[in-house]
Amino acid sequence: MATPDLRGNPCGSASTAARDAAERALWRMMSFYDTPLADLDAAVAADAGWPLPHVMRAGFLLSLTEPALLAEAEAELALARALQGQGTARERAHLEAVEAVYQGRWQVACRIWDELLVDHPRDALALQWAQLWDFYRGDAAGLRQRPARALPEWDEADPLHPYVLALYAFGLEECNLYPQAEETGRRALAANARVPWAVHAVAHVMEMQGRFEDGANWLRQHQEAWAEGNGFACHLWWHKALFRLEAMDLAGVQRLLDVHLSGQNLQLSLQRVDAASLLWRLHLLGEDVAAQATALLKDWPLEGVGAGHYAFNDLHAVLAMIAAGQAPRAEAWLARCAERALAPADARRSNHLMAREVGLPLMRGMLALARGDADTAVDLMAPVRAQAQRFGGSHAQRDLIDLSLLAAAAQGGRRSYGRALLNERGMAKRVTPLTRHWIERMSSPMTARA
């Protein structure tokens, strides 16, 4: 008979030490305080026949969206497959879902986790992983609905309950339910101040409402909890820089880039994407960021390790190349991404449609803008804008599409389109100094970007 875990979920290990180590690893995945790898090693050492720690290790590696980690993840999955007879049906479902992730079938993986959560709504691992791959696929409804289905089944005294509340808060925000999202995020932090995903969810609310001063104060208020020893710190520094950008404090953005989003602070593509995103936003404002973009690319292991793995990351690599003045390299990267996206053998991967329908047109549009063909840039990017959510990321991350369209409209002959975008922006959020900058640019005589 399976031994239940702390939440009553069937567990394939009778070893208290192994179960405790896996629980610590789960907490680390939900809290971002250090990586779970050492804890998973401890779980394997305590019970070498339990498949779940191998599944958890593979899933964690895959969650980093690094093509270079695919081989290591596959090796962990092979170990889990060999041991799956000693796991529970629930653990075999996790194995099936993570195998689907490895194959690039992210939507299939989320469906498996959804089915698992019907019978096991307190399976925090399923909630955490499904949220990540919903985010990577841009499934805002899933981000909100899944934790909503599970939360009423949770005991508020459970140490992981605030982390599940944080998942729900972020889903509410991505569905534009801002007051509910902020209330839920604050409730999570009232229960436990060390929930960076809740800090993150409320920061997103403030970004989407144009509350840049509130947002900067909010991150400062919670900085002690997230700025040291937390894998999410780089992204929260990125949010802090976005608030400086909305204030048109470009010197402040540069300081945050130099101190927190450069050099050894950037170890993963997810972190390099944030740096590239900020550099591109500054580039659109006429700032010379070529040296910083060149330094970013120098330490970004792109060549030969996975063009076309994930369209969201691919676009940001192109933006860094353009900002660095390396347009021919960006063209070559786009060609490699297109080759993979058009390959029939790749058609089962979630990225196949993401790249074809969103990623490739955006990359082509950004390159047109780099060539000075602003109207073609608008023609390529504007039709994609309505479905850009399918490309993954958050509203705040995808805002670089609108900012790029505004820059193209200001440079070319599509001022009326740019004014329409600004009307929409002004109806959705406070008119910030950044928005006023684009209003002035759209009203000024047509000049090329400096």
- 292 with 317, same domain: the answer is yes
How far apart, in whole angstroms, are the C-alpha atoms of residue 24 and residue 19? 9
- 27 with 55, same domain: the answer is yes
pLDDT score of 305 more than 70: no
pLDDT score of 38 more than 90: yes
- 111 with 144, same domain: the answer is no
Asked whether residue 387 is assigned to any structural domain, the reply reads yes
Asked whether residue 440 is assigned to any structural domain, the reply reads yes
> Count of domains in the chain?
3
What 387-391 contacts at long range (C-beta under 8 Å, 24+ apart), as own/partner pairs, is 387/357, 387/358, 388/138, 388/358, 388/362, 389/138, 389/140, 390/137, 390/138, 390/353, 390/354, 390/357, 390/358, 391/138, 391/311, 391/312, 391/315, 391/354, 391/358, 391/359, 391/362
- Structural domain including 115 reads 1-133
The answer to whether 27 and 52 are in contact (CB under 8 A) is: no
Which of 107, 133, 159 terminates a domain? The answer is 133
Asked whether residue 255 is assigned to any structural domain, the reply reads no
Percentage of the chain beyond pLDDT 90 is 91
Asked whether residue 356 is assigned to any structural domain, the reply reads yes
Which of 133, 153, 178 terminates a domain? The answer is 133
Which of 91, 109, 133 terminates a domain? The answer is 133
- 144 with 122, same domain: the answer is no
- 341 with 379, same domain: the answer is yes
- 92 with 63, same domain: the answer is yes
How far apart, in whole angstroms, are the C-alpha atoms of residue 35 and residue 46? 19
Ranking 126-130, 388-392, 422-426 by mean pLDDT, the lowest is: 388-392
pLDDT of residue 447: 46
Helices of type H across 326-432: 327-341, 350-354, 360-370, 374-385, 395-411, 415-428
pLDDT score of 1 more than 80: no
pLDDT of residue 446: 54
Note the pLDDT tens digit of each residue in 236-292.
999 999 999 999 999 999 999 999 999 999 999 999 999 999 999 999 999 999 999
- 91 with 195, same domain: the answer is no
Asked whether residue 144 is assigned to any structural domain, the reply reads yes
- 108 with 144, same domain: the answer is no
pLDDT score of 52 more than 60: yes
Cut 0.85: pTM above it: yes
Q: What CATH number should be reported for the domain holding residue 189?
A: 1.25.40
Asked whether residue 95 is assigned to any structural domain, the reply reads yes
Asked whether residue 254 is assigned to any structural domain, the reply reads no
Q: Point out which residues pair with 3 in neighbouring strands.
A: 11
- 195 with 78, same domain: the answer is no
Asked whether residue 250 is assigned to any structural domain, the reply reads no
- 5 with 19, same domain: the answer is yes
Highest mean pLDDT among 1-10, 199-208, 222-231, 301-310: 199-208
The answer to whether 80 and 55 are in contact (CB under 8 A) is: yes
Cα angle 205, 210, 213; round to 5: 95
pLDDT score of 25 more than 50: yes
Note the pLDDT tens digit of each residue in 342-387.
888 778 899 998 999 999 999 999 999 999 999 999 999 999 999 9
Q: What is the DSSP letter of 445?
A: P
Confidence of residue 448 (pLDDT cuts 50, 70, 90): very low
- 192 with 307, same domain: the answer is no
pLDDT score of 44 more than 80: yes
